[in-house]
């Protein structure tokens, strides 16, 4: 978000006259394509609350497939190589467990596969000026939203549409998360050697993953029900089964741009009835209701997480 996470929308425009904000959606669609099909190299910073990380990135589009190398510049030197839908993460030598090193990702890494039509149902796009980022002139587009989700501000390079900067904003306009290129070369000639991970080799640990399309989720057999959703959010993933010796029901929802997950577990005693943890735009709310532990995690405002936690009904619990 960012943001995991970062975003755009396109409205199909027909006819000679353009409706209000149609040009903004056209620019956002241009950005969605540019992130995938533009060759570039650069460095960017990603800020979540008080935590700031720096990365370098090299991206090349070759024969319909993206090749990308992401390197973490501070802390452990973790590298992520992407070829199409396959990700390979290289960890530093001597790392005790890959679980200690979550796979980093560029905040814009999944923009090209977002459901853009859906986003336009929940966000309004407006142009708020032009600014200079990493040596390039960018159009600044604001995606404003209702009280149940964050607004986002996007800086799009004027010629290519490439995303240069993004911010996730709370209802008061405070920046919760920010991605920003500090150095960038667009339409660069990317040599094969630039896409070679420095940590690659038999002495280094690797973790591979494929981004696969999920089957249509189904939560009809769940023991719990979520009785309220912010308008525009849809179920994207559902799981019910044993985790850590406890029966767990998990649902994930998205509005096409942002997402959250709701967990329901039986028999977990909590010292406090409600607790809240925050990191940047991500809220993790834990609550106990009638012997059930409810957790809401996602890039949503606190007010949304709190309301969701009160909208869980458990009809039966066989496990």
For each of the chain's 319 residues, which pLDDT tens digit applies? 443 333 333 333 333 333 446 889 899 999 989 999 999 999 999 999 888 999 999 999 999 999 999 999 998 888 999 998 888 888 877 664 444 555 666 656 666 566 778 899 999 999 999 999 999 999 999 999 999 999 999 999 999 999 999 999 998 999 999 999 999 999 999 999 999 998 876 445 555 555 555 556 777 778 889 999 999 999 999 998 887 778 889 999 999 889 999 999 986 655 667 899 999 999 999 998 878 899 999 999 999 999 999 999 887 665 5
Q: Rounded CA gap, 293 and 244, in Å?
A: 14
CA angle 264, 51, 89 (to 5 degrees): 75
Residue ranges matching CATH 3.30.200.100 in the chain: 224-314
| DSSP summary character for residue 195 | G
Q: Which CATH superfamily is domain 22-210 in?
A: Lipoprotein localisation LolA/LolB/LppX (2.50.20.10)
Class of domain 224-314: alpha beta
Q: What is the pLDDT of residue 270?
A: 59
Distances (CA, A) of 284 to 15, 260, 294, 302: 46, 10, 10, 9
In this predicted structure, what is the pLDDT of residue 1? 41
pLDDT for the residue numbered 215: 59
CB-based contact 260:308 (threshold 8 Å): yes
CB 68 within 8 A of CB 110: no
> Three-state SS for 308?
helix
Q: Say which DSSP state 100 is in.
A: G
pLDDT of residue 266: 82
276, 239 contact by CB (below 8 A): no
For the chain, give every residue range classified as CATH 2.50.20.10: 22-210
End-to-end CA distance of the chain: 36
Measure CA 95 to chain center. Answer: 26
Rounded distance between C-alpha atoms, residue 186 and residue 40, angstroms: 5
């Amino acid at each position: 978000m960012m943001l995991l996470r970062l975003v755009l929308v396109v409205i199909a425009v027909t006819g000679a006259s353009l409706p209000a904000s149609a040009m903004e959606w056209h620019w956002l669609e241009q950005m969605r394509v540019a992130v995938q099909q533009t060759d570039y190299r650069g460095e960017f910073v990603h800020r979540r609350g008080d935590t700031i990380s720096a990365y370098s990135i090299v991206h090349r589009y070759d024969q319909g497939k993206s090749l990308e190398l992401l390197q973490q510049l501070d802390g452990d030197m973790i590298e992520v190589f992407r070829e199409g839908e396959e990700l390979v993460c290289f960890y530093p030598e001597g790392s005790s467990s890959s679980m200690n090193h979550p796979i980093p990702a560029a905040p814009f890494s999944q923009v090209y596969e977002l459901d853009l039509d859906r986003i336009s149902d929940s966000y309004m796009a407006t142009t708020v000026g032009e600014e200079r980022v990493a040596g390039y002139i960018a159009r600044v587009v604001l995606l404003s939203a209702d009280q149940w989700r964050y607004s986002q501000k996007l800086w799009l390079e004027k010629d290519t549409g490439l995303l240069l900067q993004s911010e996730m904003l709370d209802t008061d306009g405070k920046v919760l998360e920010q991605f920003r290129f500090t150095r960038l070369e667009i339409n660069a000639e990317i040599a094969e050697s630039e896409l070679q991970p420095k940590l690659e080799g038999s002495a280094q640990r690797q973790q591979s993953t494929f981004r696969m399309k999920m089957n249509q989720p189904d939560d009809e057999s769940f023991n719990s029900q979520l009785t309220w959703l912010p308008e525009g959010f849809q179920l994207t993933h559902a799981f019910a089964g044993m985790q850590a010796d406890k029966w767990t029901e998990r649902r994930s929802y998205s509005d096409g741009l942002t997402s959250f997950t709701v967990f329901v577990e039986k028999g977990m005693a909590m010292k406090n009835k409600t607790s809240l943890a925050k990191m940047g735009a991500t809220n993790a709310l834990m609550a106990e209701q009638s012997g059930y532990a409810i957790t809401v995690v996602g890039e949503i405002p606190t007010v949304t997480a709190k309301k969701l936690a009160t909208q869980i009904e458990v009809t039966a619990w066989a496990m």
